[in-house]
Amino acid sequence: MKKSPPVLRWSLALVVVIVVAALFLIGKSRMGIDTDILNALPAGDPVLADAEAVLKSHPMQDRIVVDLRCDPVDPRALQEAAAVVVRKMRDSGLFRRVGLDAEVGAFPELVDGVVENLPFLFTERDLQRNVAPLLEGPAIRTAIHTQALMIQGLEGIGQARWLASDPLGLRLLILGRMAHMAPAKGARPAGDILLSADGSRGLIVAEPGTSATATDFARQADRLFTNIRAELKLDRTRPPRLTLTPVGAYRAALDNENAAKADTRRAMVFSTVAVAILLLIGFPRPFLGLLALLPALMGTALAYFVLSLFRSSISVLAIGFGGAIISFTVDYGITYLLFLDRTRETRGLDTTREVWSLGLLAMLTTAVSFAFLFLSGFPALAQLGALAALGVFFTFAFVHLVYPFLFPVVPPAGREGAFWLRRFSERLASGDPAWKPWVALVLCLALLPFARPDFQVDLKSLNTVRAETLAAEEEVKQAWGDILNRVYLLSEGSTYREMREKGDRLTALLDEDLAKGVLSAAFVASMAFPGPERAGTNRQAWRDFWTTERKEACRRSLNEAAQAEGFSLRAFDPFLRRLEAPASTPVEIPASLYNLVGIAPATGVSPWRQFVTVLPGPAYQGTDFFNRLHSPGLARLFDPTVFTERLGGVILEGFIRVAAIVGLMTILVALLYLLDVRLTLIALAPTAFSLICTLGTLHLIGRPPGIPTIMVSAVVIGMGTDYALYLVRSQQRYLDEKHPSMALIRLSILLSFATTFLGFGVLALASHAMLNSAGIALALGIGYSFLGTTLIVPPLLRRLYRPAVLPEEAVEPGSKKHARRVLARYRRIEGYVRAFVFFKLRLDPMFPRLASLVPNPRGILDIGCGYGIPSSWLLEINPGARVFGIDPDPNRVRVASRAVGSRGKMTVGKAPDLPFLPGPVDAALLLDVIHMLDDDQLHLTIARIAAALEPGGILVLRAIVPAFAKPSPERRFEERRIKWQGGRVRFRPVEEVNRAIEEAGLRITTPEPMSSDREVWWFIARKPLENER
């Protein structure tokens, strides 16, 4: 194959880099950053789904609250400053509504509606418990006197008509149910603001024109309040001092995005620089080592682009993890280039063949583990898993598709890499001292009591805000109350009528809970504006309650009170007429009151919504309350306590589910790849060690695991096993811990761990809470995985790979015992080889015929020995025999040497060369080889075999002989295999093979096919004895 010039190769590589960079920029433009922590919650759980629906649609989610404090108290200065703030906010165009003018203006209309609907507002129980006591003794006189005093004050403006229509103050029973909805006790409206009870603070409420968590709006709002502070000169030192404190979701969104972007930039830069320094130190040619970063960068960029094809946004956790992806996907480039950058000439394709099988298992376990994060149920973790899995796959593919093209031949390096680093990696991964696994066991047992699977489930732990934002929220909470201590309900209906019907049923349920002490306060719009069914029931209860005797007694008491307070005798006729002839239907909810009573009209695809705030009572049980609401579909619930408890359970379920499934997948992949139970257990032992130690350490350092820690189960099981799998696979392949390639593997593992640990360490230093939590957990997880690998795996591998000597015993050729003993010679070797040996022994008709063809040999010459299967088969039935083999494939020779052990020697070489022989041999095997030799090589090979045989020695030759017009499967397979390898196939007829054997001075018996339907033939020849020549 003709090599392309270097300029062309590197020009094409540059084009690939430019294309991938362009795709990354396209992906970046397509996907925004999702900072909404609610989107990190699982969608399938009803409790969490209800909480998400309530929080996302409730007006409080987007509202911005501005606290204005005046110190010392100066009502005039406070009112003037509040007017400026309100004006500036309205002029900015950022808000749909600013101030309480709508609520204050709507309150009289609400009272009017309540008064008009009095006959429809009380259940039979309400009438007996709450209204009946107002008719006893001096209660009526007291009620009228109290209201008369209110009329005389400023707060009584407009209340005269309410006194006439409701002298008993029944409206106050209904309006009193709304008292818990006020931000602070004693707060009162004053124009556009809400004044605190002591007059030192004003509260301004605003509704944004767009989502408050939109980063464009958040930036503009932040600039607006900065400018307002400057204009008001709020930092003046002369009293009164005014302090403006805006709070709302916009601040958290802005803080989260800024923190995530800063952390991502820091992670990318620091990880890249730190990894580059390590690569410069670890490679013989430092700048060649730097190229290990290129596949990681390209793989991550491609992963980002592919993910953008399916998603319009990406979570802050996933984007922050991008820098860490580079730090662990660089592993594949490191391993490849370490094998390429050596003190002898190397070839890119040869390096791929050697490294591919070592890295494939690690890539599969890592990619599968990350991909299965979608089973956690958390969307943010599913996105992260998809990004990481794609990054791992594309990086591995880039290494093995691009680098062999870039580096067809690499000249020898002038020096080894940093000697001290190689020595350090050797000592870490050494099998000495033998007691290292006991250290791991002691550490694991010490941390086991602390490795409790309990999780931190505070929703705030997912959010990241500056200290200033936290201080602002705390100040507003102290002044106006903590809204998160309340329980919120959301009732929905596709139509206005359906919403009203649900509201009536919800009101009935809440009435029962109020009576039982489950709730201490609740208000639903149906309590002031009941629907038809509730209104009809209550109207009938009203009529039944107001008997003739009660009406007459009430009339007399009202007349007496009217005379005493100076009212006319007909002042309360509107109320009395309502007793005699209540209206037939209640007043409907005016649209102007929707906001005040918690109703949101349908918009587009959104249904009609009604928001209800309740306060728990002494008998409140959150889970029971949720079930009572959820089962009939009356309302959705957000209860911080229920939410927290359920979220903890979901995290635990996700952790266990991910750990179980990812663990099972990793075990299956490793078992199928290694085909050895003991090796699989050794490879997975550091994972169990790491999980226990990580959870235990997190509790000891006061950082109990949270939502991001679910990743630990995937990362530790998937990535953490890589180090052990590399050691196990390389031991399987090279079979000798002192093999030169083993030193490269150990150095690769050390550099891979260092780069990955640095990447996760940067995350651990992140300011974003979710990234910080993930970084700490992952750094611990990957650190303990590496520690467990170095402590556990090398000593156990050394013990497992001690040469095993089978006891000498008589074996019948071709028996099951014979096959088992041959297979035992290949224990712990690569799974593919053992599978090949197993099926070769079962399916190849050479066995047991070979025993009769080579009777009692003492010395065996095996040309093209391969894995040494025929030689091993003969050694088992000939205890005194020794074998000397040759094969061009070093890997096959390494396996064959392990199989024959001390009873022979296998050499790398190619016919017609022969291995070193201490003397003549009495048997030679030339099996399935001659079709790969040209005529000169064939004649020379057989001649040299003849020279090596002692008189009477036997040559066993097997070859494919074209015998049918249609090629047999054996012939087709060999043709395709050799042509794919760039060779030429030479199948010869029987006569030509006979002639080559006879020309070498050997006497051939009659050639025979292995079976009538196959093109494989036996050629048995013997070297004549001295007296036969």
Top-confidence residue, 717 or 517: 517
Q: Distance (Å, rounded) from C-alpha 190 to C-alpha 83? A: 11
Our CA angle for 84, 85, 90, nearest 5°, is 100
**Strand pairing of 32-34 and 313-315?**
parallel
Q: Distance (Å, rounded) from C-alpha 956 to C-alpha 925? A: 5
For 6-26+254-458+646-800, CATH number out of 2.40.50.100, 3.30.230.10, 3.65.10.10, 1.20.1640.10 equals 1.20.1640.10
What are phi and psi for residue 491, nearest 5 degrees?
Answer: -110, 135
Q: Which pair of structure tokens corresponds to residue 583?
A: 């209206």
Other Cβ atoms closer than 10 A to 451: 17
* Residue 459: closest CA among 257, 644, 213: 644
Q: Which pair of structure tokens corresponds to residue 953?
A: 């020695």
HEC states along 575-633?
Answer: HHHHHHCCCCCCCCCCHHHCCCCCEECCECCECEEEEEEEEECCCCCHHHHHHHHHCCC
Q: Distance (Å, rounded) from C-alpha 121 to C-alpha 392? A: 65
Q: Distance (Å, rounded) from C-alpha 582 to C-alpha 538? A: 11
The model's pLDDT over 959-991, given as tens digits with 9 standing for 90+, comes to 999 988 788 888 888 888 888 877 888 999 999
What amino acid is encoded at 965 in this protein? A
Q: What's the confidence (pLDDT) of residue 396?
A: 92
Other Cβ atoms closer than 10 A to 157: 10
Q: What's the confidence (pLDDT) of residue 598?
A: 85
Q: Distance (Å, rounded) from C-alpha 106 to C-alpha 189? A: 12
Measured over the CA atoms of residue 652, residue 655, residue 657 and residue 660, the dihedral's sign is negative
The pLDDT confidence band at residue 154, using thresholds 50, 70 and 90, is very low
Query: Does position 1 have pLDDT exceeding 50, yes or no?
Result: no
* Contact assessment for residue 601 and residue 610, using Cβ atoms and an 8 Å cutoff: no
Q: Distance (Å, rounded) from C-alpha 336 to C-alpha 359? A: 9
Q: What's the confidence (pLDDT) of residue 784?
A: 93
The model's pLDDT over 312-367, given as tens digits with 9 standing for 90+, comes to 777 766 766 665 677 678 888 888 988 888 888 888 888 898 888 778 878 888 88
Q: What's the confidence (pLDDT) of residue 771?
A: 72
Q: Distance (Å, rounded) from C-alpha 118 to C-alpha 663? A: 65
Strand partners, 188: 195
Query: Does position 180 have pLDDT exceeding 80, yes or no?
Result: no
What are phi and psi for residue 432, nearest 5 degrees?
Answer: -100, 145
Q: Distance (Å, rounded) from C-alpha 646 to C-alpha 12? A: 54
Average confidence (pLDDT) over 57-64: 74
Three-class secondary structure of residue 310 per DSSP: coil
Percent of the chain beyond pLDDT 90? Answer: 24
* Contact assessment for residue 822 and residue 843, using Cβ atoms and an 8 Å cutoff: no
Q: Distance (Å, rounded) from C-alpha 749 to C-alpha 439? A: 21
Q: Which pair of structure tokens corresponds to residue 378?
A: 């958390």
**Strand pairing of 346-347 and 409-410?**
antiparallel
The model's pLDDT over 633-688, given as tens digits with 9 standing for 90+, comes to 889 988 878 877 777 677 777 767 777 777 888 888 888 888 889 999 999 999 89
The model's pLDDT over 519-532, given as tens digits with 9 standing for 90+, comes to 988 999 999 999 88
* Contact assessment for residue 993 and residue 1016, using Cβ atoms and an 8 Å cutoff: no
Q: Which pair of structure tokens corresponds to residue 838?
A: 């197993």
Across 441-445, 465-469, 765-769, which has the greatest mean pLDDT?
Answer: 441-445
Percent of the chain beyond pLDDT 70? Answer: 88
Other Cβ atoms closer than 10 A to 449: 9
* pTM (two decimals): 0.68
* Contact assessment for residue 375 and residue 657, using Cβ atoms and an 8 Å cutoff: yes
Q: What's the confidence (pLDDT) of residue 393?
A: 93
Average confidence (pLDDT) over 499-521: 91
Q: Distance (Å, rounded) from C-alpha 846 to C-alpha 970? A: 14
Q: Distance (Å, rounded) from C-alpha 62 to C-alpha 926? A: 83
Q: Which pair of structure tokens corresponds to residue 979?
A: 């042509």
Domain 820-1028 is found in CATH 3.40.50.150: yes
Buried b (16+ CB within 10 A) or exposed e, 717-746: bbbbbbbbbbbbbbbbbbbebeeebbbbbb
Q: Distance (Å, rounded) from C-alpha 491 to C-alpha 599? A: 9
Strand partners, 33: 314
- To the nearest 10°, report the CA torsion of 215, 219, 224, 225: 90
Q: What's the confidence (pLDDT) of residue 207?
A: 81
Longest dimension (CA), the chain: 156
* Contact assessment for residue 629 and residue 27, using Cβ atoms and an 8 Å cutoff: no
- Domains of the chain, by residue range, sit at 6-26+254-458+646-800, 820-1028
Three-class secondary structure of residue 68 per DSSP: strand
Q: What's the confidence (pLDDT) of residue 75?
A: 78
Strand partners, 487: 614
Strand partners, 957: 926, 1019
* Contact assessment for residue 716 and residue 690, using Cβ atoms and an 8 Å cutoff: yes
Q: Distance (Å, rounded) from C-alpha 682 to C-alpha 797? A: 8
* Residue 895: closest CA among 946, 840, 966, 830: 830
Average confidence (pLDDT) over 269-277: 72
Query: Does position 693 have pLDDT exceeding 90, yes or no?
Result: yes
Q: Distance (Å, rounded) from C-alpha 920 to C-alpha 222? A: 93
Give Cα 734 distance to the centre of its chain.
Answer: 35
Q: Distance (Å, rounded) from C-alpha 40 to C-alpha 768? A: 14
Q: What's the confidence (pLDDT) of residue 997?
A: 93
What amino acid is encoded at 263 in this protein? D
H or E stretch at 774: helix 769-800
Q: Distance (Å, rounded) from C-alpha 132 to C-alpha 547? A: 12
The model's pLDDT over 884-927, given as tens digits with 9 standing for 90+, comes to 999 999 989 999 999 998 899 999 999 999 999 999 999 999 99
The pLDDT confidence band at residue 958, using thresholds 50, 70 and 90, is very high
Mean pLDDT over each residue of the chain, to the nearest integer: 83
Q: Collect all residues with Cβ–Cβ distance below 8 Å to 251 and sequence separation of at least 6.
A: 218, 222, 465, 469, 472
Query: Does position 827 have pLDDT exceeding 80, yes or no?
Result: yes
Query: Does position 502 have pLDDT exceeding 80, yes or no?
Result: yes
Q: What is the CA radius of gyration of the chain?
A: 42
Q: What's the confidence (pLDDT) of residue 183?
A: 63
Top-confidence residue, 717 or 865: 865
Top-confidence residue, 2 or 525: 525
Question: For the chain, how many residues are written?
Answer: 1029
Across 24-28, 370-374, 441-445, which has the greatest mean pLDDT?
Answer: 441-445
Q: Distance (Å, rounded) from C-alpha 928 to C-alpha 974? A: 10
- To the nearest 10°, report the CA torsion of 939, 941, 944, 948: -130
* Residue 190 falls in which region: left (phi positive, over 0), alpha (psi -120 to 50) or beta: beta
Give Cα 460 distance to the centre of its chain.
Answer: 19
Three-class secondary structure of residue 733 per DSSP: helix
Q: Distance (Å, rounded) from C-alpha 18 to C-alpha 21? A: 5
Q: Collect all residues with Cβ–Cβ distance below 8 Å to 36 and sequence separation of at least 6.
A: 213, 253
How would you class 772 by CB atoms within 10 Å of its CB: exposed for 0-12, middle for 13-18, buried for 19 or more?
buried
The pLDDT confidence band at residue 461, using thresholds 50, 70 and 90, is low
How would you class 185 by CB atoms within 10 Å of its CB: exposed for 0-12, middle for 13-18, buried for 19 or more?
exposed
* Residue 212: closest CA among 255, 262, 263: 255
Q: What's the confidence (pLDDT) of residue 455?
A: 63
Top-confidence residue, 237 or 114: 114
Q: Distance (Å, rounded) from C-alpha 121 to C-alpha 451? A: 57
